[in-house]
Structure 1
């Protein structure tokens, strides 16, 4: 365990940080909830993404915030582990009440310094904010400096994703500004990102799945340009084979990434996006 009075990082489960990176950087996690008619599960703790996709035929569950007692218990555990300063990376307040729920609870904790950062993002684009904070802590920076640098890094993180169908975003009420393209069926596949308010917006429109994948690849290259210092992630929702195709196409960028992550998105994210998601997370840092 790290020394007393050092800084802990906490990320909610929709930061979507792979387990090996959570372990490597000692990042604590807070699970959101997945609720079926007859049972509730903690995101990635009691239920896997695969189980959620398998059950879609019978029931599409609802999702909810981390339970208040879970938030309180998590801070108590962090305190017991010897930390009195915490940086929390929370998914966009424009997509979830998670950020607000953690903030409200943190206000009542007197003996810890807790800063909750609204990443205005989702999935690994939020996770990169947590990982960035962890890297600053490892570099030995003081708390205030870690906080200010991490807050500045929020706007350097981007998510780009395409979905198999928009119906899950619509059902979950998370469609944001993407709804403008619903009228134009014709197999239009939007590439979706989070805008400055942290809500979903269309950043490109293409026709068909193949073009959608190619557009994600092109936009990733465009975004990274000549940068040498960046984090990169390629993720999927029940679309593993296609994710591997994308990874192969982006092999040089994968190799060059300071932090690279890949894998299946969390169950909660899967509920809202449905099977067939392919996404890329990018954080561009100073070279």
Structure 2
């Protein structure tokens, strides 16, 4: 039986592709200069607009998807007689996952036989998107929701996420890293390297002197024990550095596919201008 695949806007998923592949996307919101913006739909806030304002001192805030939004979505799917598989943003970085869990319990009170599967990827951005892509592949091949869940459960703990960040103060302001880490990362000519740990939290795992060294370090970290032939590269407001990394990755014979795409507004609001993200599946769990 076909099932619904759901994700959220922290996945930075290409929304045109999502529509074509019948992937539903719910959006977190961004508060910017006193205005609340949606991150899904034709009138959504774009990263281009957001990052330009951040370059001029704006300090956006993001809000999780609320319980009511999830409940309305789950009810609609269940009343249509379908199951749903929600590939969710890291629960450590947002309350969105917990909102979905609470909404599921409310809906199951009325529809106890409904199948609503919520999986905490402990991932973000294009790493989360890649897990959605694999779930879509399973569904298109005729697999069940249980089959898709099994694939995602295998891949997610091995999903490596590396962010090269220009200014850690954005992450500190959002409470994602400590003030001490932000201060150390702000030292002259030091390029901090941020990863998502096994529990889904952000960690400052390395520091490189200068951008070139940081890029080389990030590539080495991705290639060490690589288990898949696909690597994804995301960028905030500067695509050229991301394409440079992509070209270097394509030189590796083990890699047959490198996908490059922009960071969405929710992730951009936290990591800030100049950020590059690299994502791949490793042999070992993070």
| Superposed pair shares fold, TM > 0.5 | yes
Flag the 1:58–1:52 CA change in 2: closer, same or farther, 3 A: same
2:273 to 268, 272, 275: 275
Q: CA RMSD in A?
A: 2.5
Paired position in structure 2 for 1:66:
65
Q: Which runs of 5+ in 1 are unaligned?
A: none
Deviation for aligned residue 1:198:
0.8
Paired position in structure 1 for 2:167:
165
Paired position in structure 2 for 1:139:
141
- Whether 1:29 aligns to 2:28 is no
User: 1:280 is paired with a residue of what secondary structure?
Assistant: strand
Paired position in structure 2 for 1:215:
217
Deviation for aligned residue 1:130:
1.8
1:108 to 106, 109, 113: 106
TM-score normalized by the length of structure 2: 0.86
> Which deviates more from structure 2 when the two are superposed, residues 91-100 or residues 105-114?
105-114
Paired position in structure 2 for 1:12:
8
- Whether 1:41 aligns to 2:37 is yes
Pairs within 5 Å for 1:188-267: 188-224=190-226, 227=227, 229-252=228-251, 256-257=255-256, 260-267=258-265
Measure, in 1, the Cα distance between the counterparts of 2:205 and 2:121. 19
TM-score normalized by the length of structure 1: 0.86
> Residues 25 and 131 of structure 1 are in contact (CA less than 8 Å); yes or no, is this contact kept in structure 2?
no
Paired position in structure 1 for 2:124:
122
Number of equivalent positions:
276
Measure, in 1, the Cα distance between the counterparts of 2:254 and 2:46. 28
User: 1:87 is paired with a residue of what secondary structure?
Assistant: strand
Measure, in 2, the Cα distance between the counterparts of 1:102 and 1:159. 24
> Residues 230 and 285 of structure 1 are in contact (CA less than 8 Å); yes or no, is this contact kept in structure 2?
no
